[in-house]
Amino acid sequence: MEKSNAKKIAFYGVMAGLMFVFLLIETFVFSAFFGNFTPAILTLPLAVALSLFNGKKGMWVGGTIFGCCSFFLAICISNVIFLNPLVSILPRIFIGIVAYFVYYFANKLLKDSQNEFVSEILPCALAGAFGILTNSVCTIFMMWVFNSAELAMVLSVIISVNFIAEIIGSIILAPIYVKVFKKVHGKL
């Protein structure tokens, strides 16, 4: 039992490191080309997948890790908005929770399908899409609560552009990440 817990902790530690590296790359690469438009195309699907692959007991993990990575990155690059953990961490916890329940209900509805896309990939893609929607809505709301309405409006425009890229990335990548995690998890 202890060996299994140690492996899970190590796995989540490696995923947290990978998520932080993805976030760094996205922040610096996209900001170099697009300015303030820095969509989390790799990071958010990873957060969704971490929340899906281990079932109900781990549904909050992916979003929480993403929020913590976002908070630490804000410290590193002095991003004033995300220095508040109620903006950077709290809304992100709900990514995995919403994604998990969307996945759960979609999987229940579609599990009898003979088509692999419909029974396995579509529930993950839907969960990814709703996880991204949750992230965008909750994060913009918390920005609005803790900042001026004008700043939230500007950020909502930026995030709406990011949202399109993130939702496409999540619909494509979340099912791939989940499949890989399930294979790796089976070998742990």
Any idea what the CATH number is for the domain that residue 174 is in? 1.10.1760.20
The number of residues in the chain equals 188
Q: What is the pLDDT of residues 114-139, one digit of tens each?
A: 888 888 899 999 999 999 999 988 98
Q: What is the pLDDT of residues 147-179, one digit of tens each?
A: 755 666 666 666 677 888 889 999 999 999 988
Mean pLDDT across the chain: 85
Residue 54: domain span: 2-187
Q: What domain count does the chain have?
A: 1
Beta-carbon-side half-sphere exposure of residue 98 (alpha carbons within 13 Å)? 20
pTM given for the model: 0.86
What per-residue confidence (pLDDT) applies to 188?
40
107 touches 72 (CB < 8 A): no
